[in-house]
Amino acid sequence: MIELRTPAEIERMHEAGRFVASVLEATAAASAVGVNLLSLDRLAHDMIRKRGAESCYIDYHPSFGASPFGKVICTSVNDAALHGLPHDYRLRDGDVLSLDFAASVGGWVSDSALTIVVGTPRAEDLALIDATSRALDAGIAAATVGNRIGDISAAIGGVANAAGLTVNTDFGGHGVGRTMHGDPHLPNDGRPGRGLPLRAGLVFAIEPWFMLGTDKIYTDADGWTLRSKDGSRAAHFEHTVAITDNGPIVLSARS
């Protein structure tokens, strides 16, 4: 079911978005060579506790998950594309790290992700990260009243195709509200002018994620982490976006 949010509800969702942004800023700033992924999870956990927020991940147990996630942030390193389960791993020079975080504040959810390089970057990783970030910007720019959901998908897929990247459409954007995942589903590629008409009050997560060499993934032995089938590196950017009559508002925008 598609739900529309009032301006007052969108402002409350903005509070959740600001908190999610602050956690991503803090965990990204703490990510350095030698830092353990488990300490990034602890940092996010501490911030949740101090804010009185609720994690969307810790008890998350969808049909494709082996068991409840058990952590509060996804840390996907190098060939890990999505749902990276934090584990006892110290970041190394040149690692590509995607941080994906969602939390509920006052009963409203925000969901956001970013990718950084730890230490010395490789040129091809920077190009991948840049294309994925630009795809998110293009998707947000297409999130306007009068467009359709296929216009967002086409904008994201167009950036990928221009960068020579293929798109996996198994996982994509989704409605966000009182829970993390709702309707509509938002594929990261598609045809313009198709699908749900975009209306003021729609709030969803737009989240392009691309891999350098493939569009195929497999699930790691941890039951959660999704890795590229060919071992190539991945990047992921996500914002929670509200559609309004005055254009899209990025509720999880970082300062």
Binding region for Mg ion (CB under 5 A): 100, 111, 113, 238
Looking at the Cβ atoms of 77 and 113, the one nearer to Mg ion is 113
Residue 246 CB, shortest distance to Mg ion, in Å, is 25
CB 154 within 8 A of CB 189: yes
Q: Using an 8 Å Cβ cutoff, are 252 and 17 in contact?
A: yes
The distance of closest approach from Cβ of residue 100 to Mg ion in the complex, given in angstroms and rounded to an integer, is: 4
Q: Find the shortest distance in angstroms from Cβ 29 to Mg ion.
A: 19
Q: Classify 66 in phi/psi space as left (phi over 0), alpha (psi -120 to 50) or beta.
A: alpha
The type of residue at 227 is R
Residue 173 or 195 having the CB closest to Mg ion: 173
Task: Find out whether 113 and 17 touch, Cβ atoms under 8 Å.
Answer: no
In whole angstroms, give the CA distance from residue 61 to residue 71. 12
Task: Compute the distance between CA of residue 113 and CA of residue 28 in angstroms, rounded to an integer.
Answer: 10
Min CB(117)–Mg ion separation in Å? 20
Rank residues 79 and 238 by Cβ distance to Mg ion and give the closer one.
238
Tell me, what amino acid is at 49?
R
Please, what is the minimum distance in Å from the beta carbon of residue 180 to Mg ion? 8
Q: Which is nearer to Mg ion, 113 or 206 (CB)?
A: 113
Of 148 and 250, the one with the shorter C-beta distance to Mg ion is 250
Do 249 and 8 contact (CB within 8 A), yes or no?
Answer: no
